[in-house]
Every structure is written in C-alpha cells, then in structure tokens.
C-alpha cells in the first residue's frame, strides 16, 4: 500500500533517542499518564503540555506545562527542551504540530493527526487507498443531507466531521423526515452521513510502526459499549481466525497508508456476513488496549515509547486471556467505591487515573482480569466492578 509520503527517513531520523532523553507529550489525560509511567520505567524524562494543571499525566511527569495549544511561541519553547514529541489525544491543532516539527521529530506526524481528527478526511483517505470503510457521504447543509439520505438510505448516522468522541457529535436518522432536526441538533457546518451497519460485534486492532517501517499488532480486541462509551474489552476476540488475520492486514495497510510512526488503533465493525468495515482510527494508544498493561509482554504505552524513540518494537505475546472493564464516574454515585471488595480476586488489577472529580460518563480508571478463558476473565472483571458498589 502506498504511503502518503514517498520520502525516505534521513539517517538522523533513524538514530534511536536514548534513555535519559526528555520526551514531549501534547495532551495530559490518562493516556499521557500511562505513557509517562512506561517512559520513566525505561529511563526517560517526560514533559507534558496542555491547557490544564494537576492532570493525570502531569502528576507523574517530570515537567507539566500549562498553556494554550495555539500559543505557538510556548509550543516552540516546549519543543526545544525535548528530543521528540508525541500525542495522547488527536484533537491538537495542526498549527501546533507544525510549529513543534520545526525543532524536533513529531511522531506520529501532524499530517496523521490532520487526517484522523476529521472524519471526512479520514474516511476519504482510507477509501481512496482501497481500504474497507463504512459507506458515507459528505454533508454541509440540510439539502446535502437529504441528497445523502437518498444514496445511503435510513437508518443512518449523522456525525460531525470533527471534535466527536464517545458518542458525542452524532445522531441517528431513522427516516428522511428526521433530516432537518438532525442537522440542526449537531450545530455544525460540516458532517458525514454514514450507513447504519448491522454488525455482530465491534473489534479493534492496536498496532505500532517504527521509524524503519517495522510493524507489530496486538491480538484483536473485542469491544462492547454502553451509551457510546467503551464498557468492556476482551482479548483475544471471539472471532474466526480468518477475521483476526484480515484485521491485522488491514491495520498494517492503514499505518502504511498514513505513514505512521507510533501507535494507532483501528476500530472495526464485523458485519453479519463476516466482513470487516473500518469505523474510525485513533493515532495513539486506545482505551481498548489498556488490558495490555497486564496481559501482554509489552504494553501499548511502552510500545509507543519504543516506536517514537526509534527503538526496536516489543514482543506482543499475551500471557493469558484477559478482560478490561472501564470505571466511569457513575461508580462513585453511591459513595466511595469498595476497592477492597473488588480486589478480593487475585487476578484483578486496578488502574486509577488520578482525576479528582468523578462525573457520570467520565473515565476514572479501569479493572483488568486474567483467566484461563476469555469468558472467565469477563465474568471476573464484571463481578469485581459490581463489588465496587457494595458496602
């Protein structure tokens, strides 16, 4: 699969960034926190930059800088004090990445963010590369929406072209009569209408690509959602081996097409007739990959460190079948969670993100469980989460 960039890396780009160097992270949430922990374990220093303070990543980083992403002078100063910059979320302005890239390598490149942070650019790029995406149409007005419905049909999903996550910025259109209401509800000037997919399950591949084009992918994750937010992930996914291999092959093509250096997640629908359709991509570690912290020889965050620093990629062997359950702020609704009860099972691991205020729908942490089968791991982790609400 052809890359978006035909240029080859220079010899300087191929030189590893050694432990002891400072790594820069744009964004300071839980993904940055787990990246920082992995980086420090490998001997690196970590500087984080975001508009917030006392953040999950900032609590464990060496340096936390609070400023606006569009203060390009501050971004330049930040870049001059690190050896490489990476991301922990994709909604960083392109001007920010372009400014940073004048001083240090930015991995993945700003061009990857530019594509992935905009649904229409993302789907168009992948479709043009011959990759299987959900059928879609660009929409910029009610008239265009009505025309798109004629092509896509109903039901369908209308999504903002940018700034959407965890179900935000999207609405279901059940019939053509819903078009005007749906368009105005999103309060946007650009959207994408996607076909409604009748799927058996949702799966994802977290993969990494190094500076020399080396590639590794974790076993396929099986995901279930609640209110559009990831709820439970299982690994290995309960799908046929052929689907597993096809997902790996598509993921590799995605990373090569986008010329990714770093970690990227590809989310798929598995249709009832056994096809894989790309739903979206995320050019960073992913919530579905959190169980790799406990279940795999190299977790997704160490893999991100290795990839952006030009080190050999790590082994992704899985120790045992595993399951992860997200902990949202709703868990705190009845009072402080009963951590001791949840951890009674010796195979359960707790990861909290250092967020001070639990709110409904806010990701506060996760539990993982390992077992002899993936079904057993799921039962254990769900039971442990339920115990958090016991007195």
Domain with CATH 3.40.50.20 in the chain: 11-116
Q: Is the pLDDT of residue 27 over 70?
A: yes
Q: What's the whole-number mean pLDDT along residues 78-87?
A: 98
Helix 179-186 with 142-152: angle, nearest 10 deg:
120
Q: Are 116 and 157 in contact (CB under 8 A)?
A: no
Three-state SS for 247? helix
pLDDT grade for 3, boundaries at 50, 70 and 90: very low
- CATH code assigned to 135-195: 3.30.1490.20
CB contact set of 168 (below 8 Å; sequence gap of 6+): 228
CB proximity list for 230: less than 8 A, separation 6 or greater: 166, 223, 224, 287, 288, 326
Residue among 388, 389, 371 at smallest CA distance from 380: 371
Q: Which of 6-15, 86-95, 296-305, 329-338: highest mean pLDDT? A: 296-305
For helices 30-41 and 300-308, what crossing angle results, to 10°? 70
Q: CA-CA distance, 29 to 96, in Å (whole number)?
A: 18
Distance CA 276, CA 203 (A): 9
How far apart (Å, rounded) are the C-alpha atoms in residues 262 and 98? 17
Q: What is the pLDDT of residue 286?
A: 97
Could you count the other beta carbons within 10 Å of the beta carbon of residue 148? Answer: 22
- Average pLDDT value for residue range 312-319: 98
* Phi, psi of 65, rounded to the nearest 5 degrees: -110, 125
**199-387 — its CATH code?**
3.30.470.20
Q: How far apart are CA 381 and CA 291, in angstroms?
A: 11
Q: Output 166 or 39, whichever has higher pLDDT.
A: 39
Cβ atoms of 288 and 230 closer than 8 Å: yes
Q: What is the DSSP letter of 334?
A: T
Tokens of 153: 């049909």
Residue 4: per-residue pLDDT: 36
Q: Is the pLDDT of residue 10 over 60?
A: no
End-to-end Cα separation, the chain, in angstroms: 56
Residue 113 in tokens: 């963010």
Task: Give dist(CA 142, CA 179) in Å, integer.
Answer: 7
For CATH 3.30.1490.20, list the domain ranges present in the chain. 135-195
Domain 11-116, CATH = 3.40.50.20
CATH 3.30.470.20 domain residues, the chain = 199-387
pLDDT at 365: 98
Q: What's the rounded mean pLDDT across residues 68-93?
A: 95
**Is the Cβ–Cβ distance between 152 and 137 less than 8 Å?**
yes
* Partners of 230 in beta bridges: 225
Q: What is the mean pLDDT of the chain?
A: 93
pTM metric for this prediction:
0.93
For residues 237-249, average pLDDT = 96
Nearest to 337 by CA among 294, 273, 388, 286: 388
Q: Which residues of 13-37 are buried (b: 16+ CB within 10 A; e: fewer)?
A: eeeebeeeebbbbbbbbbbbbbbbb
């Amino acid at each position: 699969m052809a890359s978006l960039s035909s240029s080859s890396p220079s010899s300087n780009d191929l030189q590893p960034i050694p432990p002891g160097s400072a790594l820069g992270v744009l964004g300071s949430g839980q993904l940055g926190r787990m990246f920082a922990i992995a980086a420090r374990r490998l001997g690196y220093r970590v500087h984080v930059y975001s508009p917030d303070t006392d953040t999950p990543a900032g609590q464990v980083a060496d340096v936390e800088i609070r400023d606006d992403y569009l203060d390009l002078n501050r971004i330049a100063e930040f870049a001059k004090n690190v050896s490489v910059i990476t991301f922990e979320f994709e909604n960083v302005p392109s001007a920010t990445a372009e400014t940073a890239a004048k001083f240090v390598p930015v991995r993945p490149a700003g061009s990857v963010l530019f594509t992935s942070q905009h649904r229409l650019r993302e789907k168009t790029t992948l479709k043009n590369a011959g990759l299987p995406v959900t059928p879609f149409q660009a929409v910029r007005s009610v008239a265009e929406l009505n025309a798109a419905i004629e092509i896509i049909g109903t039901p369908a999903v209308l999504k903002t072209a940018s700034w959407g996550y965890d179900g935000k910025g999207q609405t279901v259109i059940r019939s053509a009569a819903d078009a005007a209401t749906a368009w105005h509800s999103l309060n946007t000037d650009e959207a994408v209408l996607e076909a409604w997919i009748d799927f058996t399950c949702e799966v994802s591949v977290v993969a990494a690509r190094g500076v020399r084009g080396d590639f590794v992918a974790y076993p396929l994750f099986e995901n279930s959602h609640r209110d559009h937010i990831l709820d439970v992930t299982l690994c290995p996914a309960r799908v046929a081996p052929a689907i597993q291999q096809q997902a790996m092959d598509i993921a590799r093509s995605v990373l090569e097409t986008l010329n990714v250096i770093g970690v990227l997640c590809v989310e798929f629908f598995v249709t009832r007739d056994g096809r894989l359709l790309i739903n979206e991509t995320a050019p960073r570690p992913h919530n579905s990959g959190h169980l790799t912290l406990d279940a795999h020889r190299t977790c997704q965050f160490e893999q991100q460190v290795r990839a952006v620093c030009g080190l050999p990629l790590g082994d992704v062997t899985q120790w045992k079948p595993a399951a992860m359950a997200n902990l949202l702020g709703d868990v705190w609704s009845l009072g402080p969670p009963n951590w001791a009860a949840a951890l009674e099972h010796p195979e359960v691991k707790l990861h909290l993100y250092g967020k001070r205020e639990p709110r409904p729908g806010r990701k506060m942490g996760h539990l993982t469980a390992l077992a002899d089968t993936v079904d057993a791991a799921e039962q254990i982790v769900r039971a442990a989460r339920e115990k958090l609400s016991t007195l």
